[in-house]
Amino acid sequence: MNQDVVATIAIPGMLAWFAWIIFSTIRRYKIAKLQAEVQTKLLDKVGSGQELLAHAQTEAGRNFLEPLEVERVSQYGRIIGALQPGVVLLFFGAALLLLRTHVSSGEGGFVVSGTLICALGVSFALSAVTSYYLSKSFGLLNGATNDAVSGAMASDILHPNDTRYDNPVI
């Protein structure tokens, strides 16, 4: 494979990946900073934890706090997030391996690149399968959505039959 072709593909790809990392990090930082500011202001205005809980249970309180939720990726999203690049890399590597038969001058480069990319694709796919089975065995994929879980208190989820946690002190 010609080194100019590799550099033409690799350098813009690397720069795009760096830009994505930088901008997603900046976005997450701004979201966390905004959440911290709002929580600080809200705690300054509210006298006690009971008042905060009462305010959060009203319609106005829910509307005020709803946009501040941290983006949460479900277990299914993480599994699909590993499976997608696995499939893409697997097909890309297979295409390189098939392409080596049609190009006479770069056979060694296509074999090495295709094999490495196929290995990456298979490893991403195996990672997704492993994540699925581990998540299922840990009970994370029991059909409960994030909405159902977020509406319940943590003590209800961890200790559903224990009455000691019915009146939490905030």
Task: Give the distance from CA 43 to its chain's centroid.
Answer: 30
What mean pLDDT comes out for the span 11-31?
Answer: 90
- pTM of the predicted model, to two decimals? 0.48
pLDDT attached to residue 69: 62
What is the enclosing helix (H) or strand (E) of 155?
Answer: helix 154-158
Cα–Cα distance list, 31 to 18, 20, 26, 35, 70 (Å): 20, 16, 9, 6, 8
pLDDT attached to residue 70: 58
Within 13 Å of residue 94, how many CA atoms lie on the same side as its CB? 8
State the chain's maximal CA–CA distance in angstroms.
77
pLDDT attached to residue 165: 43
Q: Which of 157, 152, 145, 147 has its CA nearest to residue 76?
A: 145
| pLDDT band at residue 27 under the 50/70/90 scheme | very high
- More confident position, 16 or 147: 16
The two structure tokens encoding residue 77: 């999203």
Within 13 Å of residue 64, how many CA atoms lie on the same side as its CB? 12
The two structure tokens encoding residue 28: 């997450």
Scan for tokens 């005020």, then name that residue: 64
Share of the chain above pLDDT 70, in %: 72
pLDDT attached to residue 74: 75
Q: Which of 142, 144, 93 has its CA nearest to residue 122?
A: 93
pLDDT attached to residue 83: 86
The model's pLDDT over 49-98, given as tens digits with 9 standing for 90+, comes to 777 778 778 887 777 666 656 556 677 888 888 888 888 888 888 888 88
Cβ count near 18 (within 10 Å) = 10
pLDDT attached to residue 157: 43
- More confident position, 74 or 17: 17
The model's pLDDT over 92-122, given as tens digits with 9 standing for 90+, comes to 888 888 887 777 776 677 788 888 889 888 9
Answer whether 125's CB lies under 8 Å from 81's CB. no
